């Protein structure tokens, strides 16, 4: 009886639980096509509604275009309990103004082809040994969440890189 109960519980948990879901919304950005400092206002969302364990983020963020870092910022520590969800405001900025010409041309070409340029937002939780990578469109009007992929990090002599995408 106990065995059957345990088995039923395990199956129930398997069917109802799921991994946390992360997303990023670009609420505002500047300094890409205007002569003001580069900055990105981001909202990071953690959906742990189907989770069975607490999930924590915190560390730093980098916004990249074509693999080139445009802005960086700190990410406050946030822990979301199972069955919980929370948003976190993140600001990434740089001392730079505008874009290097080659990047600006790439971005303009992508905008012509796809309607919007897409940046990569990375959130690195060094302490927890994983990072998120989210590809988000830069749209002035309709900010919406873009999903993130989570990967574990491994240390290599030439730096930290994703071990595998989950």
Strand pairing class (21-30; 68-80): unpaired
- d(CA 151, CA 161) in angstroms, rounded, equals 9
| Nearest distance in Å: CB 95, ligand NAG | 15
d(CA 6, CA 144): 41
- Collapsed DSSP state (helix, strand, coil) of residue 103: helix
Q: Is 30 in the site for ligand NAG (CB under 6 A)?
A: yes
Q: Please tell me whether residue 72 binds ligand NAG under the rule CB under 6 A.
A: no
Q: Spell out the residues 6+ positions from residue 63 whose beta carbon is closer than 8 angstroms to its own.
A: 40, 42, 69, 70, 71, 72, 92, 119, 120, 121, 122
Question: Residue 81 Cβ, how far from ligand NAG at the closest point, in Å?
Answer: 28
Tell me which stretch binds ligand NAG (CB under 6 A): 22-30, 80-88, 125-133, 142-150.
Answer: 22-30
Stretch that binds ligand NAG, among 27-35, 63-71, 101-109, 133-141 (CB under 6 A): 27-35
In the complex, the smallest distance separating the C-beta of residue 42 from ligand NAG, rounded to whole angstroms, is 9
Nearer to ligand NAG, 131 or 143 (CB): 143
Options 23, 24, 29, 65; binder of ligand NAG; rule CB under 6 A: 29
# residues near ligand NAG by CB under 6 A: 5
Three-class SS of residue 32?
coil
- Contact between 65 and ligand NAG by CB under 6 A: the answer reads no
CA atoms within 13 A on the CB side of 109: 8
30 Cβ contact list (under 8 Å, min separation 6): 36, 37, 38, 39
Contact between 43 and ligand NAG per CB under 6 A: no
- Indicate the residue among 26 and 55 with the shorter CB distance to ligand NAG: 26
- Residue 39 makes contact with ligand NAG by CB under 6 A: yes
What is the binding site for ligand NAG (CB under 6 A)?
28-30, 39, 41
């Amino acid at each position: 009886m106990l065995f059957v109960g345990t088995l039923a519980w395990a199956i129930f948990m398997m069917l109802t639980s799921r991994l946390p879901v992360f997303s990023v919304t670009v609420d505002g950005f500047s300094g890409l096509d205007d002569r003001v400092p580069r900055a990105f206002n981001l909202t990071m969302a953690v959906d742990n509604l189907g989770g069975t364990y607490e999930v924590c983020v915190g560390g730093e963020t980098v916004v990249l275009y074509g693999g080139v870092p445009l802005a960086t910022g700190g990410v406050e520590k946030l822990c979301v309990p199972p069955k919980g969800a929370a948003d976190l405001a993140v600001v990434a900025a740089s001392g730079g103004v505008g874009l290097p010409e080659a990047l600006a041309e790439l971005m303009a070409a992508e905008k012509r082809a796809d309607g919007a340029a897409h940046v990569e937002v990375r959130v690195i939780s060094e302490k927890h040994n994983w990072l998120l990578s989210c590809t988000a469109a830069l749209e002035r009007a309709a900010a919406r969440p873009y999903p993130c992929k989570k990967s574990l990090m491994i240390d290599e002599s030439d730096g930290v890189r994703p071990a595998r995408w989950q």
